[in-house]
Amino acid sequence: MSRLELSGVSKSFRGLKAVSGASFDVTPGGIHALIGPNGAGKTTIFNVIAGVYAPDEGAVRFDGRAIHGLRPDQVCAAGIGRTFQVMKPFAGLSVIENVVVGALQREKDVPAAKRFAAVIVERLGLGPKSGLPASSLTLPDRKRLEVARALATRPKLLLLDEVMAGLRPTECDQIVAVFRELNRAEGLTILLIEHVMRAVMALAQHIVVLHHGEVIARGAPDVVVRDPAVLESYLGEETEV
């Protein structure tokens, strides 16, 4: 059974079709990437999965259970963690407090949540900044915080929305190593939206390409990046001069 399965998902905003008939699935324990040009509908798909929008048509199944139409907090409770492309830290709270909010999802009380949050914070390399307000963090640290909060909910599936964007190559490699480790050691399934191809190629075992709201290609990374339809969507149509 697929961990996540989208079948014929469509979502429009005032007649503008952001996603149209998208179908793909994510295998348990896999790392899948969702790529495509700006405006292809990647974040809309994430928001449909995470319960921010209900799809106009189609179904989203998580471990076989239909989750479309659930609220975001119910989707989280079901076992899907997500980060936001436009980061939304709890700016007035400290780093550790941010993560405690996520940890409370599975931990029975605040002290237990604090202990678990401390482990996650350490793992993402935010340990020394644990007591600082989230508003004082640099961009890479804010990205790490987004990931830490989502991980603290102990998801079975983690949705990462452009967490590598704006990072330097070394920072990018660091965070890629964290995801690899989580995937390997705990079997965490990951679906990521990413423009940084360095990260996509390093992480993803499977790529789904979206263009104008439609899935135009899917498969192994080295195959997908040579697909003429994919090249065309990124670089434009080849024309004779």
Nearer Cβ to other proteins, position 24 or 84?
84
**Per-residue DSSP letter, 127:** G
- Orientation angle between helical segments 139-152 and 95-103, nearest 10 degrees: 20
> In the stretch 110-129, what mask flags binding to other proteins with x, by CB under 8 A?
x--x----------------
Minimum separation from the CB atom of position 125 to other proteins (A): 20
Nearer Cβ to other proteins, position 149 or 211?
149
Which range touches other proteins (CB under 8 A), out of 5-13, 96-104, 211-219, 232-240?
A: 96-104
How far is CA 200 from its chain centroid?
12
38 backbone φψ class: left, alpha, beta (φ>0; ψ -120 to 50): beta
**Per-residue DSSP letter, 48:** H
Q: According to CB under 8 A, which one of 11, 68, 149, 211 is a site residue for other proteins?
A: 149
Minimum separation from the CB atom of position 169 to other proteins (A): 28
Those residues with Cβ within 8 angstroms of residue 26's Cβ, 6 or more apart along the chain or in another chain: 2, 3, 4, 5, 32, 157, 189, 191, 206
Nearer Cβ to other proteins, position 102 or 221?
102
Nearer Cβ to other proteins, position 44 or 233?
44
- Told to check if 163 binds other proteins by CB under 8 A, we report no
Asked if 18 and 26 touch (Cβ cutoff 8 Å), the reply is no
Determine the Cα–Cα distance for residues 75 and 144; give it in Å rounded to an integer.
22
User: Which residues are at the interface with other proteins (CB under 8 A)?
Assistant: 50, 52, 71-73, 76-77, 81-82, 84, 88-93, 97, 100-102, 104-105, 109-110, 113, 149-150, 152-153
